[in-house]
Amino acid sequence: MKIYIVLVCLTFLLSLKSLAQMPHDAIYMNKNLTCAAIVYGNSSWTDYWENSLKRENQNIGKLTSESMTAMISYGITKKFNFIAVVPYVKTHASEGNLLGQEGFQDVSFWLKVKPFSYKGLAGHITMGVSIPMTDYVPDFMPLSIGYGSTVLTSRAILSYNHPSHFYVNGSFAYHLRGNVEVDRDAYLNGDDLTYSNEVPVPDAIETSFRLGYLKKDNQLELFAENFSCTSGDAIRRNDMPYLTNDMKMTQVGVYGKYQPKNIGVNAKLAYVVDGLNAGQATTFSVGLLYLFNLSILN
Amino acid sequence: MKYYILTFLFVIGLFSCSKEIDEIEVLPYAPTSLDETAGTWKTFVLTGPDEIVINKPVPVTDAAYLSELDSIKNTVIPNLSGDQKALIRYWGAGSVLRWNEIARELSARYNIPPASNAEGLYPVPDAANPLADPKFPFANPPYTARALAYLSVAQYDALVSAWHYKYQFNRKAPFQVDTSIKPLLPPSDLPAYPSEDAVVAQASYVVLLAMFPGEEPFLRSKLEECMQVPVWAGMTVSSDIDAGKKIGAGVAAKVMARAKADGMGSSNNQSLTAGMIDHARSLGMVNPWISQESPARPPMLPNYGAVKTWNFDRIRLESIRPPMPYLEGSPEFKKDMDELKNIQKNQSRKQAAIANYWADGPGSFTPPGHWHRYAASAGVDSEFNEIRMARLFAYVGTALMDAGIACWDTKYFYYSPRPQQFGLKTSVGLPNFPSYTSGHSTFSFAAATVLSAFFPEKETIFLEYAGEASDSRVFGLIHYRIDCTMGANHGKVIGDYAVERAREDGAD
């Protein structure tokens, strides 16, 4: 359901971040250093929150979203990085007769800067835009591969690295989510029947807290994240989710990266512990990383 | 640092005010005609326009009237709030139109199939406890078709009666009696007694409350708005409203008496399905329809086909029932199946879009609601007056209900399997009832046929819409081609009966 889609988005963000450096971590590529990654992600749920009612749905069974994501991070300077992400998503319901969907989802571009650092403490800002790459159907939930929304994300991160290689960081992000055009010409938003093919997708706030150990390029991290729409309606009793829903979820997980040379791997496992209008997803991803020098800018 | 924070805030601000959705707004308009003789038009349920009796109004020189007038002029209009003016603009677009929209919105809100309970059963919605889970009603397509039909018939019959009295008594509107009153809605020469808005409001309230019994507070608020607006706007006085209420209530009672006896009460008689399945087998249906939901859900309203029709009788209904669909194993069946398999593999984005546009599934106002919407737009485009608009909805609405009844009769007569019983998926969701014929096709061609008769210049576009609605069920993988072509033909015939009736009602 929509739930699912947000999960997919999150999965991407998470898997991204979990790469060598992500829009919401505190790691930077050195100048001209480039990290290319390919990540397989798998997010699935059986239980979901229909509004606040936790339930399963025998006509969906287990809803799985698999993704293959290509990512590239590039160090413009060692305090200013560029990241691009391209995910391909495929969905499947284990029960019932809803047709699975697949395709390229939303391409995203990010800039990350470190405006200040003092001893181990640093502040970071990332700005990103995510744009649907294809004309996929956004409101065939929960089978749709994405929201179809253009999203602008601004994120502030405060990080502290201890000389012992342990680190903590907290981040706050605001997702400005643009209206979506759907194939239908009327839809319910709360109790209001809206006569339009344009659907408002609620904005969302994402907060996270991370605790980890980073030595050279090897990393182990525990994290907790909360994703909360700032408005929206609830899934009606026994109805399907929709783009307008007020989706909230809290997720905890573990992430690790091992990069002995220029080739490395990463992996992530996450689990939704609480939610509203959302699937209780278990997500894992594994990625292959490749570091190399690219001097395109000089 | 400051710069970064500013940028951050700027980007947030840039897009946070863009959630507003533009909907097409219908503004008050002056109708192209008054239809002064509409009091003689043939009604659906009323035996005559004066079946509900109202008193002769007092003349406009009477002290009681002058006091009403004074109240409007010196108390009501000078003190209108911004909210009241907004309501005048809203309701001024037409009471018939607005109540039709309200009914569509309620249909969408109530169009959700009940959830199964812990025992794996589906509790039946209970009209006596409408807001419990599951809510009553489940406003599925047959239910919505019927609700909209009764609403429209009640509005139309009540307005015929209102027009009869308007031109019998010829009492002028306040702004004509006292020209210093400036009406806040487009003025016309339509006599004010009884108020057409009150007639429509009261009739609509009664019918919709019967159809959506959990919505009393919501419907009452709309009723009050709709009756107050013409007074606020200087179009009527309260005695016009009172007379209108009386007609609306009287006509709605007659119309609801028909509704209570039309057979809807036994439309969900599940004990009939065993016999229906045996019958289908006797016709050669090797694999009759079975629910594809888990747990298996009883089929939607298996006896809706026995509900009383509007524009033809039962003998006619049986005589126009489409012939046998292709049987499993036949080359024709295989051809239809191959078309679906090919779409499942290679569905184009355009096919998906058509399937989605017309899906009109749970949470929507269903195909009957979609066609009422088209009727409303066409009526507004032609600047129909209230009674023309009600007449349009009444013929489109009764044709849609007849289409639902005749289609459901066909569905349960043949009890044919859905493509999903042979392994296909769907991109729109699978309705829980037999396949042949397609409800979308039958509804759409019935409505398009009526609309084409009312708006001949738009025939091409209406038939194109109906064709898309019909195709959409193949593109969405839930109907065989034969379900749609035969449903379309059936719908045209059903629509023709409504057109035939309309030609004889004295309006044209």
CATH of the domain at A70: 2.40.160.40
| CB-based contact B95:B202 (threshold 8 Å) | no
Contacts of A186 in chain B (CB under 8 A): 108, 364-365, 370, 373
Cα B95-B100-B105 angle, rounded to 5 deg: 125
Nearest residue of B to residue A187 by CA position? Answer: B364
A265 pLDDT exceeds 50? yes
pLDDT in tens, A128-180: 999 999 999 999 999 999 999 999 999 999 999 999 999 999 999 999 999 99
Calculate how close chain A gets to B343, using CA atoms only, in Å.
12
Is pLDDT above 90 for A28?
A: no
Nearest to B21 among A115, A194, A236 (CB): A194
Q: In this complex, is the C-beta atom of A237 within 8 Å of any C-beta atom belonging to chain B?
A: yes
A25 within some domain: no
- pLDDT-based confidence at residue A8 (cuts at 50, 70, 90): very low
Q: How many residues does chain B have?
A: 508
With respect to residue A24, please indicate whether it lies within any of the assigned structural domains: no
Q: Cβ of A59 and B293 within 8 Å? A: yes
Other C-beta atoms lying within 10 Å of the C-beta of residue A214: 17
Determine, yes or no, domain membership for A28.
no
Band of residue A294 on the pLDDT scale cut at 50, 70, 90: confident
d(CA B205, CA B203): 5
Average pLDDT, chain A: 91
Are A89 and A105 in contact by the 8 Å Cβ rule? The answer is yes
How many structural domains does chain A have?
1
Indicate whether A19 belongs to any domain. Answer: no
Chain B residues in contact with A113 by the CB 8 A cut-off are: 4
Residue B10: predicted pLDDT: 53
pLDDT of residue A261: 85
Percent of chain A with pLDDT over 70: 91
Q: How far is A82 from chain B (nearest CA, A)?
A: 16
ipTM of the complex: 0.93
In a domain, A292, yes or no: yes
Q: Look at residue A160 in the predicted model and tell me its pLDDT.
A: 96
A95, A196, A238, best to mutate vs chain B, most B CBs in 10 Å: A238
Residue A57: per-residue pLDDT:
97
Q: For residue A217, what pLDDT is reported?
A: 81
User: In the numeric block, which tokens belong to residue A132?
Assistant: 């649907």
Residue B23, pLDDT score = 85
Q: Which residue of A has its CA nearest to B352?
A: A137
Contacts of A250 (CB under 8 A, 6+ apart): A224, A225, A226, A227, A272, A273, A274, A275
A contact residues 90-119, partner B, Cβ 8 Å cutoff: 95-100, 113, 115-116
Q: Is residue A17 in a domain?
A: no
Work out the minimum CA distance from B139 to partner chain A, whole angstroms: 13
Does A298 score more than 70 pLDDT?
Answer: no
- Residue A13 domain flag: no
| pTM of structure | 0.94
Beta-carbon contacts of residue A215 (< 8 Å; ≥ 6 apart): A165
Any B CB within 8 A of A135 CB: yes
Report the pLDDT value the prediction gives residue A4, as an integer from 0 to 100. Answer: 44
B133 interaction partners in chain A (CB closer than 8 Å): 237
Chain-chain contact of A115 with B4 (C-beta, under 8 angstroms)? yes
**Percentage of chain B modeled with pLDDT above 70:** 96
* Predicted confidence band of residue A5 (pLDDT cuts 50, 70, 90): very low
Nearest CA-CA distance, residue B74 and chain A, Å: 36
The answer as to whether A4 is a domain residue is: no
Containing structural domain, residue A230: 33-297
Which pLDDT belongs to residue B15?
52
Task: Give the pLDDT of chain B (508 residues) as one tens digit per residue.
Answer: 455 555 555 555 555 556 888 888 899 999 999 999 999 999 999 999 999 999 999 999 999 999 999 999 999 999 999 999 999 999 999 999 999 999 999 999 999 999 999 999 999 999 999 999 999 999 999 999 999 999 999 999 999 999 999 999 999 999 999 999 999 999 999 999 999 999 999 999 999 999 999 999 999 999 999 999 999 999 999 999 999 999 999 999 999 999 999 999 999 999 999 999 999 999 999 999 999 999 999 999 999 999 999 999 999 999 999 999 999 999 999 999 999 999 999 999 999 999 999 999 999 999 999 999 999 999 999 999 999 999 999 999 999 999 999 999 999 999 999 999 999 999 999 999 999 999 999 999 999 999 999 999 999 999 999 999 999 999 999 999 999 999 999 999 999 999 999 999 999 8
Check whether A33 has a pLDDT greater than 50.
yes
Q: Please give the pLDDT value at position B24.
A: 84
Q: What confidence score (pLDDT) does residue A3 get?
A: 43
Q: Does A205 touch chain B (CB under 8 A)?
A: no
Instruction: Give the pLDDT of residue A9.
Output: 39
A156 touching B, CB under 8 A?
Answer: yes
Q: Which residues neighbour B319 within 8 Å (Cβ) at sequence distance 6 or greater?
A: none
**CA distances for B485 relative to B37, B249, B322, B329, B488, angstroms:** 41, 42, 10, 20, 5
3-state DSSP of B451-505:
HHHHCHHHHHHHHHHHHHHHHHHHHCCCCCHHHHHHHHHHHHHHHHHHHHHHHCC
Give residue B436's identity as a one-letter amino acid code.
Y
Please report the sign of the dihedral spanned by the C-alpha atoms of residue B161, residue B165, residue B166, residue B168. positive
B290 contacts in chain A (CB < 8 Å): none
Task: Indicate whether A239 pLDDT > 70.
Answer: yes
Tell me what pLDDT residue B1 has.
47
Spatial separation of the C-alpha atoms in residues B182 and B88, rounded to whole Å: 14
- What is the Cα–Cα distance from B378 to B376, expressed in whole angstroms? 5
